[in-house]
Amino acid sequence: MNIGMPESDYPDIRGLHLFAEMSDEHFQTLMRGSYVQNFPPQIELITEGDPSDFLHVVLSGSVELFSSWNNRETSMATVRPISTFILAATIKEAPYLMSARTLEKSRIALIPSQDVRKVFDTDSGFARAIVTELAQCYRTVVKSQKDLKLRTSLERLANYILRCQRHAGGGDTFDLGYEKRRLASILGMTPENLSRAFKGLHPYGVQVKGRNVSIRSQKDLEQFAKPDRLIDDYSS
Amino acid sequence: MNIGMPESDYPDIRGLHLFAEMSDEHFQTLMRGSYVQNFPPQIELITEGDPSDFLHVVLSGSVELFSSWNNRETSMATVRPISTFILAATIKEAPYLMSARTLEKSRIALIPSQDVRKVFDTDSGFARAIVTELAQCYRTVVKSQKDLKLRTSLERLANYILRCQRHAGGGDTFDLGYEKRRLASILGMTPENLSRAFKGLHPYGVQVKGRNVSIRSQKDLEQFAKPDRLIDDYSS
DNA sequence: CGCTATGTTGATCCATATCAATAAGTGTGG
DNA sequence: CCACACTTATTGATATGGATCAACATAGCG
């Protein structure tokens, strides 16, 4: 493990909202104590319950956040570049609530939590950015909670597909972002049930071949899914 | 509606973590623009989707946060004195994701969102407090999400009862904090199912009479519920 | 290739929702 | 204080969404 981050990674991290507004001096302080590492797929980076020693930044690849209880496991979220995870645990100096594993070969920056807290106390630009980021995280989980409590699995899938489409640019054919077994867990269902749910959307013009989805009738699908900006909008 | 908050309410609000560390001057600034109002039960204070004009503080009584979609409604959380709600929307200057209604006669302080954002930008003690509060809120929703995705309704009820007991001081008889129909919605089930779930806990020594719960065998109940600090601990 | 993980399909089971009827509270005005 | 209305809680019967188990198909990958 190499201490100190390669300067070539600085711009990527500096470009994050979270680090954009802070002073150069404080940014250097953070970077000096940080690591960057490449991980193969399926490596467990952190385990829920452990103390939060590092704020993590996904530079490339992707990371799954998941949780377990009583021998069951569920996928909570996916982190894609360039963004951070477990910010709340870092700030609160509390144990992680979720575990994290790489989904693919990933490059991850590790910033010591105590440095983050120290700079946070002295750099108001950084503090503001953290607030914004946390508020965003909070609202994302609330939306996800509404999705879970107010919709059936078929409705969740339909809306997931529409979000996916929007994210991909709005065309009528695009890639499902996940392996199906993982998507099932994210949507809170079993792989078998997901398989059937895709069939259940066939009457609304949804065709699936492997990871590829095509939407035959935008109108029918939307009429069924009833997307809602207070659940399905990523931006606000 | 009276503009300006009665000075008699200052200490309660000042006592909140959120307002404890800020300068007197900034605190006065916030209070000057604020209102305090008494509301009867069942009044809808805010509606999801509306712009976030005020940060709300529950001084007495209690408030339910709930959400709707497609003619369905679910209870998301309950806010009890003394604490705030919709902080994230205020900070992000984004629409509310949840609606709020009083459950009982309640005294609510309303602090203009733009004042909160202004003071937040200049008072670093306040900014720090907001970060801590938001991180707390985030972790609470994550726990609730884990509860929902990893447990059956019977397990959720069992763990709710244990949390309730702990909150009430640990005795073997205590008050369920809610009307049952509301508890059902909070736990993500129907009233009928809750009724049956209480019966389902009878073998583990749980007795319910009206709002009163008594636990006959702490050990049996805990063995079934398997409480977990990463889901059921309120404090961290 | 063939091995292993992933995806599909069918049969069945279980948890939970829904519908309907009754019972038990709760509050109101006489 | 009672009678009434109205909401909430319970119970039973039934329907349904979704999970589980098992078999098979398919797709990646060394």
pLDDT of B74 higher than 90: no
3-state secondary structure of A188: coil
Looking at residue B12, its pLDDT comes to: 87
Q: Mean pLDDT, to the nearest integer, of B18-33?
A: 94
Q: Strand C nucleotides below 7 A of a protein CB? A: 6-11, 15-20, 25-26
Kindly report the length of chain B: 236
Whether the CB-CB separation of B52 and B86 falls below 8 Å is answered with: yes
Q: B85-102 burial, b for 16+ CB within 10 Å, e for fewer?
A: bbbbbbbbebbbbbbbbb
| Residue nearest C24, CA–C1′ metric | B210
Looking at residue B198, its pLDDT comes to: 97
The gap between B215 CA and C22 C1' (Å) is: 29
| Averaged pLDDT of chain B | 93
The gap between B117 CA and C30 C1' (Å) is: 55
Whether the CB-CB separation of B129 and B43 falls below 8 Å is answered with: no
Looking at residue B111, its pLDDT comes to: 97
Which chain B residues touch A121 with a CB distance below 8 Å? 128
Rg (CA), chain B: 19
The Cα B86–Cα B55 span in angstroms is 6
For residue B235, give the amino acid letter.
Answer: S
Looking at residue A3, its pLDDT comes to: 61
Q: Mean pLDDT, to the nearest integer, of B212-225?
A: 96
Whether the CB-CB separation of A92 and B135 falls below 8 Å is answered with: yes
CB-based burial label for A218 (10 Å; 0-12, 13-18, 19+): middle
CB contact under 8 A, A131 and B91: yes
pLDDT of B41 higher than 60: yes
Q: Mean pLDDT, to the nearest integer, of B146-168?
A: 95
Q: Mean pLDDT, to the nearest integer, of B176-182?
A: 93
pLDDT tens per residue, range A187-233? 989 999 999 999 999 999 999 999 999 999 999 999 999 999 999 99
DSSP secondary structure of B178-226? S-HHHHHHHTTS-HHHHHHHHHHTGGGTEEEETTEEEES-HHHHHHHH-
Angle, helices A153-167/A191-200, rounded to nearest 10 degrees: 80
Mutation choice for B interface testing from A90, A92, A130, A138 by most B CBs within 10 A: A138
Q: How many CA atoms lie within 13 A of B122 on its CB side?
A: 12
Which of A68, A120, A230 is nearest residue B97 as measured by Cβ atoms?
A230
Confidence class of residue A44 from pLDDT cuts 50, 70 and 90?
Answer: very high
The Cα A30–Cα A110 span in angstroms is 10
Show the domains of chain B with their CATH numbers: 7-148 (2.60.120.10), 151-232 (1.10.10.10)
User: Nearest-CA distance from B230 to chain A in Å?
Assistant: 6
CB contact under 8 A, B97 and A72: no
pLDDT of A236 higher than 80: no
3-state secondary structure of A92: helix
pLDDT of A99 higher than 60: yes
- B144 phi-psi bin (left φ>0, alpha ψ -120 to 50, beta other): alpha
Confidence class of residue B5 from pLDDT cuts 50, 70 and 90?
Answer: confident
The gap between B222 CA and D11 C1' (Å) is: 28
pLDDT of B96 higher than 70: yes
Q: Whose C1' is closest to the CA of A192: which nucleotide? A: C8
pLDDT of A74 higher than 90: no
Q: Which two tokens stand for residue A29?
A: 């302080």
Q: Mean pLDDT, to the nearest integer, of B65-70?
A: 93
Which chain B residues touch A236 with a CB distance below 8 Å? 92, 94-95
Looking at residue B103, its pLDDT comes to: 87
pLDDT of B57 higher than 60: yes
Q: Mean pLDDT, to the nearest integer, of A15-20?
A: 93
